[in-house]
């Protein structure tokens, strides 16, 4: 990466295994970390969050180079690779921990997120109500080690990876191939 100051984005689009697998493939990303955001419990565990009463969503935190990929482009990819019209659910994953959310840091990210949501509603999701939460980040808690880089480590052994995550990656490759790192094409 060049001398540009890195930026950070925190997104929740269902299972963090899915969102991590999608976003780690993009040019300009330095890191993608699975974790928990948007809740009230300090230092939650996966078991706490999946119980459904912490208020946290499974989320990813992305560190990226804005000279290679913009926050707005990350949000375009976010809208296209999950269902932002499904309340507290992505496919068979159900509960508030699987909600769609953009956790912004500062007024600039908030404005970009709100404009991006309006654009998605106009262009791609006409006739359906977007339920994505747009809220200040607060704290992000890193998930347990076994959740990090989950797809890459389990794609040949966990059916969830081939049935749920792989089709999302295919969608990314079809719609955003220019933004995908060469090694993932």
Provide the 8-state DSSP code for 86: S
Cα–Cα dist 50/6, whole Å: 31
- Pick the catalytic residue: 9, 11, 12, 15? 15
How far is residue 121 from each of residues 72, 86, 88, 125, 180, measured CA to CA in Å?
15, 14, 18, 5, 25
Q: Where are the beta strands (DSSP E) in 87-177?
A: 89-90, 93-94, 100-104, 133-136, 140-142
Please tell me whether residue 47 adopts helix, strand or coil conformation: helix
Active site includes 161? no
For the annotated catalytic residues, the residue numbers are 15
């Amino acid at each position: 990466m060049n001398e540009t100051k890195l930026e950070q984005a925190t997104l929740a689009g269902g299972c963090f295994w899915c969102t991590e697998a999608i976003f780690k493939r993009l040019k300009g990303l330095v890191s993608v970390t699975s974790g928990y955001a948007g809740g009230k419990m300090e230092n939650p565990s996966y078991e706490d969050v999946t119980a459904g009463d912490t208020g946290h969503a499974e989320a990813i935190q992305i560190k990226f180079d804005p000279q290679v990929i913009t926050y707005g482009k990350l949000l375009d990819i976010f809208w296209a690779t999950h269902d932002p019209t499904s309340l507290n659910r992505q496919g068979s994953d159900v509960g508030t921990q699987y909600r769609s959310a953009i956790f912004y840091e500062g007024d600039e990210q908030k404005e970009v997120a709100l404009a991006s949501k309006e654009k998605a509603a106009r262009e791609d999701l006409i006739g359906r109500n977007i339920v994505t939460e747009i809220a200040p980040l607060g704290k992000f808690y890193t998930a347990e080690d076994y959740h990090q880089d989950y797809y890459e480590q389990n794609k040949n052994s966990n059916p969830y990876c081939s049935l749920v995550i792989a089709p999302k990656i295919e969608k990314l490759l079809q719609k955003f191939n220019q933004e995908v790192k060469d090694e993932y094409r």
